């Protein structure tokens, strides 16, 4: 069963530490091109976050190809090779059990773009650029 660990869940210190270990190991695997897949060989993939379930048995790797091109194909390719990737990561991290990993689209870039657009809107610009009128001055 593929369990996606939601971003909204509050994580403990151990989950955060294991997630960061897995993120570094996954980034190294992707950087070195250790997965033989034509889709992955033609894309640079970023891994901003890895979330781990409380029992440390499942992990969700939030990934995004650089530039956002072919994201569905890249995520599908990663999920096709997830057992192999798990084995590669197990050799790099010192854990009793390496979690099953599921690759998920990272939407934090979209959220940042929405926030930038909101801050750049005329209404917000007007409120941030005009000095407040103070009648007590």
Average pLDDT, integer, range 82-90:
93
CA 92, CA 22: separation in Å to the nearest integer?
A: 9
pLDDT at 121: 74
- Dump pLDDT digits (tens) for 44-82: 999 999 999 999 999 999 998 887 788 889 999 999 999
Average pLDDT, integer, range 17-26:
94
pLDDT at 132: 59
Residue 129 has pLDDT above 60, yes or no: yes
Q: Which domains does the chain have, with CATH numbers?
A: 13-129 (3.30.300.20)
Tokens standing for residue 105: 């689209």
Query: Contact at 8 Å (CB) between 40 and 19?
Result: no
Burial (CB < 10 A; 0-12, 13-18, 19+), residue 84, is middle
pLDDT at 23: 95
Region for residue 123 given its phi and psi (left: phi exceeds 0; alpha: psi -120 to 50; beta: otherwise):
alpha
């Amino acid at each position: 069963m593929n369990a996606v660990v939601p971003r909204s869940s509050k994580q403990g210190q151990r989950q955060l530490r294991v997630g960061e270990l897995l993120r570094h190991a996954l980034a190294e695997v992707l950087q070195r091109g250790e997965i033989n897949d034509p889709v992955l060989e033609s894309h640079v993939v970023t891994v901003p976050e890895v979330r781990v379930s409380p029992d440390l048995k499942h992990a969700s790797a939030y990934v995004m190809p650089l530039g956002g091109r072919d994201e569905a194909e890249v995520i599908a390719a990663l999920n096709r090779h997830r057992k192999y990737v798990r084995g590669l990561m197990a050799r790099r991290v010192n854990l009793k059990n390496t979690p099953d990993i599921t690759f998920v689209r990272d939407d934090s870039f979209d959220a940042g773009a929405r926030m930038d657009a909101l801050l750049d809107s005329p209404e917000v610009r007007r409120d941030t650029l005009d000095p407040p009128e103070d009648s007590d001055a």
